[in-house]
Amino acid sequence: MPLRNLTKEQYTAATYDDNLLLTACPGSGKTKTLVAKIAHKLQSYDLRKKILVAITYTNIAADTIIDRLDAFSIPSDNLWVGTIHSFCLEWIIKPYRGHSARTCKGYRLLDQYEYQEILDSIRAELKLKSYDKINTKLNSDGTIQTIGLSPESIRAAALYHSHLSTHKLIDFDLILSTAAEILNSHPSIGHRLSHLFDSIFIDEYQDTNQTQYDIMREILKHGNTKVCLIGDVDQAIYTGLGAVVKNGIEICKEFSLKTIKEMTLSGCFRSKQQIIDFYSEFQDNSITIRSLQNNNFPSETLSYDRITTRDDLPNSISKIVQKHLSLGVSPNEIAILHPQWYEVTSIGRAISKILPNIPFDAPGLSPIPHCHENIWYKLIRLHNIKTSNKNYNRRARLASEILLDLQEISVSMNENLNARSLLKASNKIIIDEPDIIGYIQSLTQTFCSALNISIENHRELLEQYESLVKSTEKRINKDGIDRDPSNISKYFNESTGIKITTCHSTKGDEYEVVICAGLLEGKIPHWDEIIRKSPSYSAYMARRLLYVISSRAKSALYLFSEKGIYTTTRNEYTPTKQLSIAASKLKL
């Protein structure tokens, strides 16, 4: 059934069972092909105890793959899906944490708010400005980066890592470097994993950085595991953060592969030709993409607005939204994008006040920050995912994951406690609290009572709880988010409203109507991609993100380079140059 309704190209890729580099243009059915490939492997091959690993770009992408497999009623016992950070934690750091000096005596993950708090404290101590950059990434050998950085920045990075070491903390970058260190210093671990994993599928491979390549190499070089890399080089939006785009020859060399088959998915089933012609202006290698979209949309639009001011932006966007809703477009087929999170939050609040009766799906408006590895966040998520036949497998997997987390930190539990009983306990819990902090406290206490667990007796549980509460409080105060927990469940369930998010996080999504603001020099490309960078590099980074933004749209694309935004020196932001060039060429 998963192979039904595939094109010839998709079918060939889905049934090919060896090393594969699959290039896929926007809307060519990449996710559909990946799911079919995994499903075919699960159904048609005797994997025994071997595991298929799918590395996704986001947690949402991982959920999408699992949900589609569930829809096919395909058992996923031999499948693991998640982000590269989750992979490193699950398969390398947690089981082998004793092999690293950084994790052998315990560790806790740093969330973004605690990360920012530490940096703010260091800036105050060293009398640095808020815009003074502190590079907290380490070199591959674990030393602090110094090239092109000021003595103050180097000193700040040293203080940051000293703080992390003292308090047994690791940040997201250290998840990768710690995993790489464990594999490099203990080759037998990579060899062991190579016998466990039948295949590794890497989605959005163009945004893989060298440390991630190093991690995969230590597993793949033994020749026991097949690899499939899927992506589009024109959507490489993280090269500024170290992502490295490699061709087939380079991948073979990197992973010590004898050979790798290269295939392509052509044709776009998503967008109308007008949209395709526009985003093709941002390609580096000119490839003709033909629209295979036959749907009749109520409105087809390509618009570029350079006149609207920042103050009028919410009203202008609201009018576009109302127009398409009146034409019958579903709210979950509309996306509002911006390159910066704090602007996403601001725009989201403003538009939701103008359109109070319209549903919105805005993760940035959730009072609880996304701390996917925090056990209390997982319990909150479990409690809020709606109970239904459709969601049962997802909830059961999450319950099993929570129980494993508790076991790993040596929490004693009733021997009869299993995923099913945890689900039943969650279903019985009713929390009536007017404030989100009180909600977290009550839900946590109720879960602990049901599981007969005392937080105070387990340092890691207490630290994770305090971290989540503190981060939630900071998020509310910093972003002005509502403290009311009554609608919290909407942030943990399937999207039912207009999506409001960042340009980067929308990669892989598709919408009938896409509205994007903030298309300004200094935002796209970001100042970090302009200052001390060559003009060609800045232009490259701008084209990559413009390509991703524009290729999300099926039929209507509205772009804004709003006026009235100024730098700290009172210079007004100007429209993104690459967008202006394309708009002028196409007479927008």
Rounded distance between C-alpha atoms, residue 194 and residue 190, angstroms: 6
**Rg (Cα) of the chain, in Å, rounded?**
24
Top pLDDT among 265 and 361 is at 265
Q: Which pLDDT value is given to residue 139?
A: 83
280 within 8 A of 289, measured Cβ to Cβ: yes
Q: Is the dihedral of CA 150, 154, 159, 160 positive or negative?
A: positive
52 forms beta bridges with: 79, 199
Query: Is residue 391 domain-shared with residue 350, that is, in the same domain?
Result: no
- Give the model confidence (pLDDT) of 193-234 as tens digits: 999 999 999 999 998 999 999 999 999 999 999 999 999 887
Reduced to 3 states, what is the DSSP secondary structure of residue 560?
Answer: strand
Query: Is residue 578 domain-shared with residue 535, that is, in the same domain?
Result: yes
Query: Is residue 299 domain-shared with residue 412, that is, in the same domain?
Result: no
Peptide bond into 331 cis (omega under 30): no
Query: Is residue 65 domain-shared with residue 15, that is, in the same domain?
Result: yes
- The answer to whether residue 104 sits within a structural domain is no
**Residue 239: which pLDDT band, with cuts at 50, 70 and 90?**
low
Q: Which two tokens stand for residue 139?
A: 């070199």
- Give the model confidence (pLDDT) of 418-464 as tens digits: 889 899 989 999 998 999 999 999 999 998 888 888 888 888 888 89
Query: Is residue 506 domain-shared with residue 463, that is, in the same domain?
Result: no
Q: Is the dihedral of CA 162, 167, 171, 177 positive or negative?
A: positive
Q: Is the pLDDT of residue 573 over 80?
A: yes
Reduced to 3 states, what is the DSSP secondary structure of residue 530?
Answer: coil
Q: Which pLDDT value is given to residue 458?
A: 86
Q: Is the pLDDT of residue 294 over 90?
A: no
- Give the model confidence (pLDDT) of 98-107 as tens digits: 999 999 988 9
Query: Is residue 465 domain-shared with residue 509, that is, in the same domain?
Result: no
- The answer to whether residue 1 sits within a structural domain is no
CA nearest to 61, candidates 422, 522, 510: 510
- The answer to whether residue 433 sits within a structural domain is yes
Tokens 């052509």, located at residue: 266
Which residue, of 210, 241, 265, is where some domain finishes?
A: 265
330 within 8 A of 306, measured Cβ to Cβ: no
- The answer to whether residue 525 sits within a structural domain is yes
- The answer to whether residue 70 sits within a structural domain is yes
Mean pLDDT of 558-568: 95
In CATH, what number is assigned to the domain containing residue 208?
A: 3.40.50.300
Query: Is residue 429 domain-shared with residue 447, that is, in the same domain?
Result: yes
**Residue 245: which pLDDT band, with cuts at 50, 70 and 90?**
confident
Rounded distance between C-alpha atoms, residue 294 and residue 108, angstroms: 50
Give percent of the chain above pLDDT 90.
59
Q: Which pLDDT value is given to residue 363?
A: 65
Which residue, of 231, 265, 299, is where some domain finishes?
A: 265
Mean pLDDT of 578-582: 96
Query: Is residue 147 domain-shared with residue 211, that is, in the same domain?
Result: no
**Residue 341: which pLDDT band, with cuts at 50, 70 and 90?**
confident
Query: Is residue 81 domain-shared with residue 200, that is, in the same domain?
Result: yes
- Give the model confidence (pLDDT) of 367-426 as tens digits: 888 888 899 999 999 999 998 888 888 899 999 999 988 888 888 777 778 889 899 989
Q: Which residues 6+ apart lie within 8 Å of 41 measured at CB?
A: 17, 47, 52, 198, 199
Mean pLDDT of 56-70: 88
Query: Is residue 328 domain-shared with residue 462, that is, in the same domain?
Result: no
Rounded distance between C-alpha atoms, residue 49 and residue 30, angstroms: 27
Which residue, of 433, 452, 484, is where some domain finishes?
A: 484
Average pLDDT, the chain: 90
341 within 8 A of 365, measured Cβ to Cβ: no
Number of domains making up the chain:
4
- Give the model confidence (pLDDT) of 526-556 as tens digits: 988 898 889 999 999 999 999 999 999 999 9
Q: Is the pLDDT of residue 237 over 70?
A: no
**Domain extent for 347:** 273-359+497-585
Q: Is the pLDDT of residue 570 over 80?
A: yes
Tokens 């000021």, located at residue: 150
246 within 8 A of 254, measured Cβ to Cβ: yes
Top pLDDT among 321 and 361 is at 321
Mean pLDDT of 474-500: 82
Three-class secondary structure assignment of 164-182: HHHCCEECHHHHHHHHHHH
Q: What's this model's pTM, rounded to 2 decimal places? A: 0.87
- The answer to whether residue 368 sits within a structural domain is no
Q: Is the pLDDT of residue 112 over 90?
A: no
- The answer to whether residue 3 sits within a structural domain is no
Query: Is residue 17 domain-shared with residue 115, that is, in the same domain?
Result: no
Rounded distance between C-alpha atoms, residue 372 and residue 395, angstroms: 15
- The answer to whether residue 468 sits within a structural domain is yes
Give the type of residue at 38.
I
- Give the model confidence (pLDDT) of 159-206 as tens digits: 999 999 999 999 999 999 999 999 999 999 999 999 999 999 999 999
Query: Is residue 223 domain-shared with residue 312, that is, in the same domain?
Result: no
